[in-house]
């Protein structure tokens, strides 16, 4: 008889109030495999893993480990049964050393801490799993990508056999992602079993052996990675065929819409954020500005929008000098802005959807006449935009604060794109969005480009930059370090440039 699977979760149900977050979910993981748990935001992935880790008690269902039923009452039970969780937000104590962080909270250590023995054990684990960690280094001195390895070490130190990673790549650069995947494979090769939560299809295909797809709290597919493809996984995740992006045509225009020359600006902390940036975006073209967050891209967007005062250089929009214009004047030239943080900058959360749609243009026709707001016109336009921009539900009276991330972004797009802008500054426009909402945003941007708008797409997502851009510029430490055509911009080359390796 075949031996039972290492982990078998059957019929798991979990309800939060009226929300059925998990409905009879099965998850079967074999020993020594890298198992992807995928699904859109809110599909129930984290909840399922929290049940496994004993953080939530399931309303129904069973968990078996190597065939034996396991009642997991809390994380302590989970750890005792060999389950380890690498959290999305690192839970480390910065002033302590890596070795100290690794033993922290491990009851087996008792009161006496034999520093030498702990460091030796941590070093041994680090070597065996290729983590390249110095146990004596302080956590605050190591970069984010390495801090994640400390979390991995903590779990290994406690003897975990099943390692659960919840969206581990969200905070990493492309190179760090590759390094993490080397480690994940090494974990498997050394006999561990990995459950990897992600909604990035490229990662699923690159590193996993089998895939469980969740949709709306239910099972939506079990796939073998080498027998499937991105389209099939995406279909299982969203429940329908993804519309393929429109065939790319050559840019419709050649006249420059945005011309930035020698732009310099300081960050909020007063340091040099932009050190002489030159960028031109033409009508009918998407210029992708690639870069790891914090290299000046936010300041660049703010300077163009009139939200930050440049310390040098010029900004022209359709030939007019707007270097020192305020946001209202800049917008009046036909500039749309999809800001990085839609909750903070993009929307007034206590307002209704209809009110947010008209924000900034409420004082003119058709929303106001002779300085008096026309409530009926605002409601009518709100209803129209809610339908056109596919809000769910399409109700313009909803308070904006209650919308999901994808719907928030649709409200921003509805307001910004409904008046045929000449220039669109889109800053990290799909950050935090799921596959379907991301696709929606991409389609709207391509549509605007087709209609002749110039689009400056600022993004740290390489897939997004490569899928949408006609030309690509890379920003690093406040300078444009490369300008490439879409064809020249391979993922590896972009990744190296973004990491500051100019020789790429």
Ligand X SMILES: Nc1ncnc2c1ncn2[C@@H]1O[C@H](COP(=O)(O)OP(=O)(O)O)[C@@H](O)[C@H]1O
Q: Which residues bind Mg ion (CB under 5 A)?
A: 46
User: Which of 164, 292 has the CB closer to Mg ion?
Assistant: 164
Provide the CB-side half-sphere exposure for 332 (13 A, CA).
Answer: 9
Cα separation, 381 vs 374, whole angstroms: 11
The site partner of 123 among ligand X, Mg ion, none (C-beta below 5 to 8 Å per kind) is: none
CB of 42 to ligand X, least distance (A): 4
> Which window, 16-24, 188-196, 229-237, 365-373, contacts ligand X (CB under 6 A)?
16-24
Among 30, 41, 88, 418, binds ligand X (CB under 6 A): 41
CA distances from 186 to 144, 189, 285, 461, 489 (A): 20, 5, 43, 26, 30
Where would I find the beta strands (DSSP E) of 76-134?
A: 83-86
Residue 25 in tokens? 């979910």
CB of 89 to ligand X, least distance (A): 13
The site partner of 229 among ligand X, Mg ion, none (C-beta below 5 to 8 Å per kind) is: none
Cα separation, 404 vs 402, whole angstroms: 7
Residue 372 in tokens? 């008096």
User: Which of 212, 295 has the CB closer to ligand X?
Assistant: 212
Nearest to 104, CA basis, from 161, 53, 157, 168 = 157
Among 6, 9, 43, 455, binds ligand X (CB under 6 A): 43
For residue 19, state whether it binds ligand X (rule: CB under 6 A): yes
CB of 383 to ligand X, least distance (A): 26
User: Which of 222, 388 has the CB closer to ligand X?
Assistant: 222
For residue 45, state whether it binds ligand X (rule: CB under 6 A): yes
For residue 46, state whether it binds ligand X (rule: CB under 6 A): yes
Residue 272 in tokens? 């040099």
For residue 97, state whether it binds ligand X (rule: CB under 6 A): no
Cis peptide bond N-terminal to 431, omega within 30? no
The site partner of 42 among Mg ion, ligand X, none (C-beta below 5 to 8 Å per kind) is: ligand X
The site partner of 35 among Mg ion, ligand X, none (C-beta below 5 to 8 Å per kind) is: none
Nearest to 413, CA basis, from 399, 425, 401 = 425
For residue 54, state whether it binds ligand X (rule: CB under 6 A): no
For residue 42, state whether it binds ligand X (rule: CB under 6 A): yes
For residue 401, state whether it binds ligand X (rule: CB under 6 A): no
The site partner of 382 among ligand X, Mg ion, none (C-beta below 5 to 8 Å per kind) is: none
Angle at CA 242, nearest 5°, toward 236 and 244?
A: 145
DSSP alpha helix (H) spans, 136-240: 144-157, 174-189, 201-207, 230-238
Residue 43 in tokens? 């599909």
Contact 445, 456 (CB under 8 A): no
418 phi and psi, to 5 degrees? -75, -10
For residue 39, state whether it binds ligand X (rule: CB under 6 A): yes
Residues that bind ligand X (CB under 6 A): 16, 19, 21, 39, 41-47
């Amino acid at each position: 008889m075949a031996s039972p699977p290492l982990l078998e979760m059957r019929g798991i149900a979990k309800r939060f109030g009226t929300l059925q977050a998990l409905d009879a979910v099965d998850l079967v993981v074999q020993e020594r495999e890298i198992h992807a748990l995928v699904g859109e935001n809110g599909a129930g992935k984290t909840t399922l893993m929290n049940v496994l880790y004993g953080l939530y008690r399931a309303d129904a269902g069973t968990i078996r480990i190597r065939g034996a039923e396991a009642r997991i009452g809390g994380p302590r039970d989970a750890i005792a049964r060999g389950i380890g969780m690498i959290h999305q937000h690192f839970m480390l104590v910065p002033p302590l050393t890596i070795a100290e962080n690794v033993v922290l909270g491990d009851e087996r250590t008792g009161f006496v801490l034999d520093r030498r023995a702990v460091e030796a054990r941590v070093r041994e684990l680090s070597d065996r799993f290729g983590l390249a960690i110095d146990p004596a280094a302080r956590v605050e001195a190591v970069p984010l990508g390495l801090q994640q390895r400390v979390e991995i070490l903590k779990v290994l130190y406690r003897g975990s056999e099943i390692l659960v990673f919840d969206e581990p790549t969200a905070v990493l650069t492309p190179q760090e992602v590759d390094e993490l995947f080397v480690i994940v494979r090494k974990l498997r090769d050394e006999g561990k079993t990995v459950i990897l939560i992600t909604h990035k299809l490229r990662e699923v295909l690159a590193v996993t052996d089998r895939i469980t797809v969740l949709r709306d709290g239910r099972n939506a597919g079990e796939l073998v990675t080498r027998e499937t493809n991105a389209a099939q996984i995406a279909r299982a995740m969203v429940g329908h065929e993804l519309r393929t992006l429109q065939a790319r045509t050559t840019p419709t225009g050649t006249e420059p819409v945005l011309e930035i020359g020698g732009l310099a600006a300081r960050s909020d902390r007063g340091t040099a954020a932009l050190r002489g940036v030159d960028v031109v975006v033409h009508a009918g073209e998407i210029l992708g500005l690639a870069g790891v967050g914090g290299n000046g891209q936010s300041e660049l967007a703010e300077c163009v929008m009139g939200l930050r005062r440049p310390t040098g250089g010029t900004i022209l929009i359709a030939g007019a000098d707007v270097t020192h214009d305020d946001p209202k004047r800049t917008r009046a030239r036909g500039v749309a802005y999809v800001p990085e943080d839609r909750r903070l900058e993009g929307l007034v959360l206590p307002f209704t959807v209809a009110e947010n749609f008209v924000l900034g243009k409420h004082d003119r026709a058709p929303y106001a006449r002779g300085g008096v707001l026309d409530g009926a016109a605002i409601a009518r336009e709100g209803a129209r935009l809610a339908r056109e921009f596919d809000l769910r539900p399409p109700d313009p009276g909803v308070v904006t604060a209650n919308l999901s991330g994808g719907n928030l972004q649709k409200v921003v797009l509805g307001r910004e794109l409904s008046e045929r802008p000449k220039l669109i500054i889109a800053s990290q426009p799909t950050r935090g969005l799921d596959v379907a909402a991301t696709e929606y945003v991409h389609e709207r941007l391509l549509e605007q480009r087709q209609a002749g708008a110039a689009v400056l797409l600022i993004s740290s997502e390489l897939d997004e930059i490569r899928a949408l851009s006609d030309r690509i510029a890379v920003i690093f430490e406040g300078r444009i370090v490369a300008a490439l055509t879409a064809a020249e911009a391979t993922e590896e080359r972009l990744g190296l440039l973004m990491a500051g390796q100019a020789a790429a």
